[in-house]
Amino acid sequence: MNKEKESPEELRERLRQEELKGNPAGGVHGGGLQDLVGGLGWKGTGILILILLIATVFYFAFFN
């Protein structure tokens, strides 16, 4: 895609990818949870939160 026609989101993602290529051990924000949630999207993030809540309920129900 033309660099002049990039949306702000595309520009940010392209710059982040270039930064990760140059320094794979870290980035400006440190990665981690931001990359996980960004890669999953809103549905995947909701499912992940739901699974964590269910796991917590089961833990407290059976191990306390």
The per-residue pLDDT for range 1-57, each reduced to its tens digit, is 566 788 888 888 888 888 877 776 655 555 666 666 767 778 888 898 999 999 999
Euclidean distance between CA atoms 4 and 8, whole angstroms: 11
Euclidean distance between CA atoms 62 and 64, whole angstroms: 6
The residue type found at 6 is E
The per-residue pLDDT for range 50-63, each reduced to its tens digit, is 999 999 999 999 98
The residue type found at 39 is G
Flag whether the pTM goes above 0.85.
Answer: no
E strand or H helix at 57: helix 33-62
Is 63 exposed, middle or buried, given 0-12, 13-18 or 19+ CB atoms closer than 10 A?
exposed
Domain positions in the chain are 8-62
The residue type found at 64 is N
